[in-house]
Structures are given as C-alpha cells and as structure tokens.
Amino acid sequence: MNKDTGFKIKKLREAENISQAEMAHHLEISQSYLSKIENGFVEKIDFKLIQKISTFFNKNVLYFYGKKNDGIPERNLELDAILKNIFKNQEQINHLVEMQNNLILQLVNK
C-alpha cells in the first residue's frame, strides 16, 4: 500500500461525513490504526480490511490499488491480473473452508 490508498480512504470517509471513530468501529479496527492508514503510515493493509473498506464505500477493491493521476485512477494491467488471481484464489479458499465445515458437521452429527 501507499499514501494514495490512505488518502482515498480519508477522502471517501470525509465525503460521507463519517468520523474516524465511527468507521473504525464498523471496520472492527482501532481509530488510531485507521488514522495511521489514512496518513500513509501503514505500508501494507490486510486484504480483508481492503475488502471491508470497499464494501463500506461501495467501491471496487481495485479503486484502492490504482494510483491517482490528476484525480483519475490509473489502471495497471499487471496489477489487475494479480488481483483477479487473488480474488479467484480467495473464492477457492472460501469454497474449501465451506466444504471442510460441512464435513466436520457431518462427522459431528454421526
């Protein structure tokens, strides 16, 4: 992550007139951690947190990974391909966890 990501989060939050405390509570993180993100002091933000933020603001997760150039998000094709693979892998992991949970329930119910 970079400062652009934190800046985007801060601008979206301010545009919605939401306090850091409110947003941090919704995201289940501390207000101080959100402040560090918004001010560019956090180098890497957990992907699940970016997903929560994307959902919170109804934005595509790719919005937070592009760099700003005169206010227009820049699309990086290589980054897009990597992120699509991450999404695909995450979906597969979620499916496997669901299958595992179902198997555990079946074993417990026997």
Q: Place 76 in a pLDDT band, splitting at 50, 70 and 90.
A: low
What is the structure's pLDDT at 71?
Answer: 45
The pLDDT of 13-18, averaged and rounded, is 95
Taking Cα atoms as reference points, which of 29, 12, 73 lies closest to residue 65?
A: 73
Q: What is the pTM of this model?
A: 0.61
Convert the pLDDT of each residue in 17-68 to its tens digit: 999 999 999 999 999 999 999 999 998 888 889 999 999 999 988 888 765 4
φ, ψ at 67 (rounded to 5°): -95, 150
Q: Which two tokens stand for residue 6?
A: 């934190």
Dihedral sign computed on CA atoms, order 7, 9, 45, 67: negative
Distance CA 80, CA 8 (A): 18
End-to-end Cα distance, the chain: 47
